[in-house]
Amino acid sequence: MLVGVAALNAGNYVFHLIAARHLGPARYGDLATLVAISGLISLPLGGVQVWVARSVAEYRAVGDDDAIHWFTRRVGSYLAVVATVVTLILLALALPLQHVLGIASLAAVLLTGLTAFPAIVSSVTWGLAQGLQRFGLTSLTYAAGPVARVGFTLLAFAVGLKVGGAMLATLLAMGVGLLLPLWAMRTWFTPAPAAGRRINRREAIRSLQPVVVGLLAITALTTDDVVVAKLALSDHAAGIYGSASLIGRIVLYLPAAIVTVLLPRVAARTAGRQASTDLLVKSAGVTAAFCAGLTTIYALGGTLIARSAFGTSYDSAGPLLWRFGVAMSCFAVLNVLLFYHLGRGEHRLSWLLGGAALLQLAAFAAAHGNGRQLVTVDVVFGTGLLLVYALLGNRIRR
């Protein structure tokens, strides 16, 4: 999983490096905003992936494979319908979004809307692979799309496309990420050989809601600032902020390998009534150590890193990097805590993070004059949430 997540992040960052150098700060600000919007669509649906993975791991732990067949078919059918509706809504809103966000290319906004379909449907295939603990397939799936996107982007730029070409490459790459695991696990989408456990609609919604809220909250807490920067700052300043945010989020995304493995194993232990605290201690410890090391590197060489990655026109992003390192380190540890509690079926942390995300939006409304103010809001909320968890941890556990 570490190799797969590293390839995923390498592919994503190479894509952004190529785009930033090719488009320049102003147009790269458009792309960063559209990618952030796509993330707000797709990353919360990681909540569905987590819910599917937890359910599949629980069914597997008690030997009910027939329930897995029924569950994946039913969830996949519902998601296909939802994906179609959401895609049509986003396409209808493309023109207003273009004007509100100041995006130069309408085609790029339309392509961003189309990414909703693979983003939504992929959550069931990715969750199935994760819940079955097929980490080789999960790793390959994570890596295939971002690596393919680099190739698609180079082709798009070679024929003269700009921001729209980068979003077309994103759409095609997401299609790769959908079809690969769907083909590899197609037998699990066949009808169940015998009657297994069934979950009714009300029970499904009740168990899914806090999972989606938790993942949506983490996504919002770590992504909303890029959209706010686009709305509040100049095009150049928004591009600078987006580049700093991109490098800073390495701290958040690389430990994703840990939580991918953590969730199904915690769910399986919980289903078998076994202790899982040792998994939390190890996962949080490794994540914190990795984040501290990377944040130190940002503090020592932020300007050099920004210049090496994006060019001299992005030098002003350097002083922001260590601040992003501190903020994203906090959110990375919170992500580990969230996945641990979701694996145990404990949902209070999800609601806590959801409330914090709403408060963060209010804070951005009050402090958005420059990039330093925006990232300071991130730091305050990241450290504050860890402090609240330290004080209320026993109440969060079931």
For 234, the token pair is 């100049």
Contact predicate 213/7, CB 8 Å: no
92-108 burial, b at 16+ Cβ within 10 Å, e below that, comes to: eebeebbeebebebebb
Length of the chain measured in residues: 398
Map the chain to HEC letters.
CHHHHHHHHHHHHHHHHHHHHHHHHHHHHHHHHHHHHHHHHHCCCHHHHHHHHHHHHHHHHCCCHHHHHHHHHHHHHHHHHHHHHHHHHHHHCHHHHHHHHCCCCHHHHHHHHHCHHHHHHHHHHHHHHHHCCCHHHHHHHHHHHHHHHHHHHHHHHHCCCCHHHHHHHHHHHHHHHHHHHHHHCHHHHCCCCCCCCCCCHHHHHHHHHHHHHHHHHHHHHHHHHHHHHHHHCCHHHHHHHHHHHHHHCHHHHCCHHHHHHHHHHHHHHHHCCCCCHHHHHHHHHHHHHHHHHHHHHHHHHHHHHHHHHHCHHHHHHHHHHHHHHHHHHHHHHHHHHHHHHHHCCCCHHHHHHHHHHHHHHHHHHHCCCCHHHHHHHHHHHHHHHHHHHHHHHHHHCC
Domain residue spans of the chain: 1-199, 200-398
Q: How confident is the model at residue 247, as a pLDDT?
A: 82
pLDDT along the chain (398 residues), means of 10: 86 87 81 80 73 88 84 89 92 89 86 91 92 92 92 92 91 93 90 63 74 84 82 80 81 80 88 86 91 89 80 77 89 92 87 92 83 86 91 72
Instruction: State the angle between helix axes of 277-310 and 2-42 in degrees (0 to 180), rounded to the nearest 10.
Output: 80
Q: How confident is the model at residue 173, as a pLDDT?
A: 94
Q: How confident is the model at residue 97, as a pLDDT?
A: 85
**What's at 362, amino acid-wise?**
A
**What's at 145, amino acid-wise?**
G
The model's pTM: 0.74
Q: How confident is the model at residue 169, as a pLDDT?
A: 94
Rounded to a whole number of angstroms, the distance between the first and last alpha carbons of the chain is 29
> In sequence order, what are the residues at sequence separation of 6 or more whose Cβ sits closer than 8 angstroms to the Cβ of residue 82?
120
Q: How confident is the model at residue 398, as a pLDDT?
A: 60
